[in-house]
């Protein structure tokens, strides 16, 4: 992998046969973040495809190169794009421009109509059809299995980072926090939006791809409820709310290296009665897969297990 400084000085990152900055016109702003904005654009020639253009302005000395988080996102997308997976958003082009006091980075993606959060916000009060929920989750787990098979953890999976096309295609996006991993690597704890954060992250443990599977499970519940299932406002409160829904591991299974000590006062049995009725049905039981894998902190389910067993398999719904 090229260093950030090398990438910045080169100006272009692995130039491909794809739309470059002069090949499209900006149509509208569709999002913004800490470093820049995302635009809807259209090619001005050839196929006239719709594009999503992420324009980032990185203040500071350009000689310091591109920040690590940006390099990571570009490198991972370049690594994955050669597979052309249908459930991972496609990066079409990257360019960098060095200015006196800043560095401009432009990423061009395929355009997808909306994210899952927007999709859910327009759903009827009756909720989504079960067939639709199953289809979304099968595509999401297929994308996750592809990432994990290539040793990539997304680490920030949430409805805002899952795209849904007008044709019903589901694509995982936004790899700014993603990491290439080895088994049970200890990664930084402050990843994943709080409501989708796995217990092993909250307990400050080493973790693997299981954190993405947990986040996907939270999304699964949200497809039924049209709202987040577990909503804490501090890390400790989020952990308590997880235990209220999923139960507390037995004391002998409690991780010895966690800075949070086991508390016998915590609820010791899964509080499934706290789940809405639509999630207590055996065909949509969020605990089904976890139960088949033993204590969830010791043997968390993988994406491929979720595809082959439990709520999103072909035997359910």
> Do the bridges between strand 179-180 and strand 152-153 make them parallel or antiparallel, or are there none, so unpaired?
antiparallel
The tokens of 152 are what? 């990539």
55 SS3 class? strand
CA–CA dist 254, 308 (Å, integer):
28
Q: In what order do the strands lie in the sheet with 162-164?
A: 114-115, 162-164, 170-172
Is 54 known to sit in a ligand binding site?
Answer: no
Q: Is 126 a known active-site residue?
A: no
DSSP sequence for 76-108: HHHHHHTT--TTBPPEEEEEEEE-SSEEEEEEE
CA–CA dist 130, 248 (Å, integer):
29
Quickly count: other Cβ atoms within 10 Å of residue 12's Cβ.
13
89 Cβ contact partners less than 8 Å away, ≥ 6 residues apart: 109, 110, 112, 163, 171, 172, 173
Using the structure block, give the residue that is written with the tokens 């953890």.
153
> Is 55 within 8 Å of 104 (Cβ atoms)?
yes
The single residue of 115, 156, 174, 212 carrying the catalytic annotation is: 156
> Is 259 within 8 Å of 253 (Cβ atoms)?
no
Quickly count: other Cβ atoms within 10 Å of residue 136's Cβ.
21
Quickly count: other Cβ atoms within 10 Å of residue 131's Cβ.
9
Burial category of 232 from C-beta neighbours within 10 Å (exposed 0-12, middle 13-18, buried 19 and up): middle
Tell me which residues are annotated as active site: 156
Binding residues for ATP: 55
Binding residues: 55
């Amino acid at each position: 992998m090229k260093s950030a400084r090398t990438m910045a000085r080169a100006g272009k990152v692995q130039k491909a046969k794809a739309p470059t900055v002069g090949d499209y016109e900006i149509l509208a702003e569709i999002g913004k973040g800490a470093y820049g904005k995302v635009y809807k654009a259209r090619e001005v020639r050839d196929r006239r495809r719709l594009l999503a253009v992420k324009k980032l302005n990185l203040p500071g000395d350009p000689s310091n190169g591109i920040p690590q988080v940006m390099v990571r996102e570009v490198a991972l997308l370049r690594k994955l794009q050669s597979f052309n997976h249908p459930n991972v958003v496609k990066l079409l082009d990257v360019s960098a421009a060095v200015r006196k006091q800043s560095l401009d980075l432009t990423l061009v993606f395929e355009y997808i109509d909306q994210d899952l959060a927007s999709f859910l916000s327009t759903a009827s009060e009756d909720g989504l059809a079960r067939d639709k929920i199953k289809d979304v989750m099968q595509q999401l787990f297929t994308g996750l299995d592809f990432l994990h098979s290539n040793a990539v953890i997304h680490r920030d999976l949430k409805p805002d980072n899952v795209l849904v096309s007008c044709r019903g295609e589901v694509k995982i996006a936004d790899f700014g926090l993603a990491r290439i991993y080895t088994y049970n690597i200890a990664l930084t704890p402050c990843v994943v939006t709080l409501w989708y954060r796995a217990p092993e992250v909250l307990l400050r443990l080493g973790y693997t791809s299981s954190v993405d599977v947990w986040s996907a499970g939270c999304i699964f519940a949200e497809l039924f409820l049209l709202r987040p299932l577990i909503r804490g406002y501090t890390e400790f409160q989020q952990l308590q709310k997880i235990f209220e829904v999923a139960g507390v591991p037995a004391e002998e299974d409690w991780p010895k290296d966690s800075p949070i000590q086991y508390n016998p006062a915590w609820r010791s049995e899964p509080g499934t009665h706290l789940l809405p009725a639509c999630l207590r049905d055996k065909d949509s039981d969020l605990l089904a897969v976890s139960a088949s894998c033993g204590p969830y902190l010791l043997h968390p389910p993988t994406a491929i297990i979720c595809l082959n067993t439990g709520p999103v398999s072909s035997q359910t719904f």
